[in-house]
A and B are shown apart, each in its own frame.
Chain A
Amino acid sequence: MDEVALIRDAQGGDLDSFNRLVLAYQELAYNLALRMLDDEASAEDATQTAFISAYRHMESFRGGSFKSWVMRMVTNTCYDELRRQKRRPTTPLEPINDEDDEEIESPYWMADDHNPTPEQALDQRELESAIQSCLSDLPDDFRSVVIMVDVEGLDYQEVSDAIGKPLGTVKSRLARAREKMRDCLQGAWELLPANFRLKLEERA
């Protein structure tokens, strides 16, 4: 895929070229939105809105990392959604009990290709729930940085481009976010699956 050519064509109004870029980055964008908003429906909406906004503002892309530019669109859309939720908080109609709704809302059969055993799936679900809870407690600015670096694997420069802040700010926010995550996960550490803890301790 010649990304530069696709970007140039998309800037000229070619929707097919833009859609090829969408296919390349939609998983990254969706996962960022999902971790930021902690809600699948909101994440879908935010991802779609971000790509529409990206297409409308293609002419404002002045080169550099297109991935960072898309991440910036997604991050800004998520910030808008979070602000809207704070202004007008909503109550979900589904039951809050995780055991009841996760069968519907968390399609793990879609997430992994290697078909984990039921025990592994349960461990993974508990772990993800614990991490997501700690992420949701972070301030929005810290959360976006730690998700992009530690979950999505972007480097510091890409994150700096995505959030429009200098490298020093990225480093500072990431360190503080990790510190808060460490404190949060301390209490949940024992709740983590035993085999997972053992594996982590071996790697550390």
Chain B
Amino acid sequence: MNQMKNISASEWQLLSAYLDDQVSSDERIQIERKLDSDAAFRQAMLSLQKTRLVIRSMPRRKVPRNFTLTSEMVPVRGTFQLFPLLRFSSAFAAIAAVVLFAVQLLPGMFNAGTQMAAPAAVDMTAAENASGPVPPMIYWGSPPLATGKGGGGGGDGSSASVYPGGMGGGAPDTVFGVPSGAATPGIQFEIPQPTNPAGIGGAAVLEATPTVASALPLEPTPAATGTQVPPLTLAPEPTAGPETQRSQATLSGNPVLGLRPQDSGKVIADSQPLENTTATQEHPTPAGRALLLPAAIGLAVLAAVTAIAAWIIWKKSHN
């Protein structure tokens, strides 16, 4: 036993392979020389032979039954090969549907963002008004003077001076506020001559121009000049061109009033969406939208159908 312990692992491995005739001719000669000269090596060889004989003496069992397959055990392989195709097609259709939905929704999201900006401006203006003295308010597209909705509104001193008849109170389409630090007393409002019959309103433009010398000029935009509404207050520097004045007004943060060309001469209702009074935006063509939605829905349906089919095939193949 102690002699066998002297056999190294590599020698033991060589002996094991020699026993199975899995050594080269050189190795065989080397092993046989050592077997002749080394008693420990010879003893290890005997023990290995005996061990192998014992293991090989294990009886082989007969099979308790046949393991042949039936068609119930395994699916038809041709059907199963559809699984990868259906799986990938469903994934592709789902991705395509999501992309199409996203493409269709993105312009809508931009619109929603613009629509959300106007109420936020109103809120900020209201907050400024609450903290400072009475600011000059310019109502854009306000209801007609004689038949304004919610008449009797207003309430503060300035509005009372402008609308002595107690008009106002209708929700303005756009409200421009003046910074609270600006001087507000002495604001003088002039009522324009409406181009539309009284009671329709909306197109009437009211401009408020502070009479204080420090107040910046308020100029109608070029779009507004196309209307019949007479400019009520002129800017103190009439020598500047319209473009220069507009740029100055924009840069200085003061409001620019006027009507867009397409809105000139039209009646602007109170309930008209705010986006119609804001900057012009790019919208996808109706025809493009009409094509995108059915395509996206079709792809989504295709994805669902192929996914269900793939799942059914997979389920059948694993049962």
Contact = CB atoms under 8 A, between A and B. Distances in A.
A29 interface: yes
Contact of B58 (A23, A131, A149, A175): A131
B67 A51 contact: yes
B60 A31 contact: yes
A111 B59 contact: yes
A62 B61 CA distance: 30
Nearest to B51: A182
Interface string B45-57: 0111111111111
Given A44-B65, A111-B61, A171-B17, A150 B50 contact: no
Interface in B28-72: 46-71
B51 A185 contact: yes
B50 A200 contact: yes
Interface size class for chain B?
35 or more
A15 B17 contact: no
A35 to B, nearest CB: 7
A27 interface: yes
Given A55-B74, A185-B51, A23 B59 contact: no
A124 B61 CA distance: 12
B62 A15 contact: no
Given A52-B74, A111-B60, A179 B12 contact: yes
Given A23-B68, A150-B52, A204 B13 contact: no
Contacts of A19: 68-69
Interface in A159-193: 171-172, 174-176, 178-179, 181-182, 185, 192
7 contacts: A15-B71, A22-B67, A27-B62, A56-B74, A124-B59, A132-B58, A172-B13
Interface of A: 13, 15, 18-19, 22-23, 26-27, 29-31, 34-35, 40, 44, 47-48, 51-52, 55-56, 58-59, 107, 110-112, 124, 127-128, 131-132, 135, 146, 149-151, 155-156, 171-172, 174-176, 178-179, 181-182, 185, 192, 196, 200-201, 203-204
Contact of B67 (A30, A124, A181): A30
Nearest to B75: A56
B52 A178 contact: yes
Nearest to A196: B57
Contacts of B287: none
A188 to B, nearest CB: 9
Contact of B63 (A27, A185, A201, A203): A27
B60 A131 contact: no
Contacts of B68: 19, 22-23
A30 B51 CA distance: 23
B241 interface: no
B156 interface: no
Nearest to A130: B54
A172 B16 CA distance: 9
A18 B22 CA distance: 33
Contacts of B76: 13
Nearest to B78: A13
B44 to A, nearest CB: 9
B77 interface: yes
B52 to A, nearest CB: 6
Contacts of A52: 69, 73-74
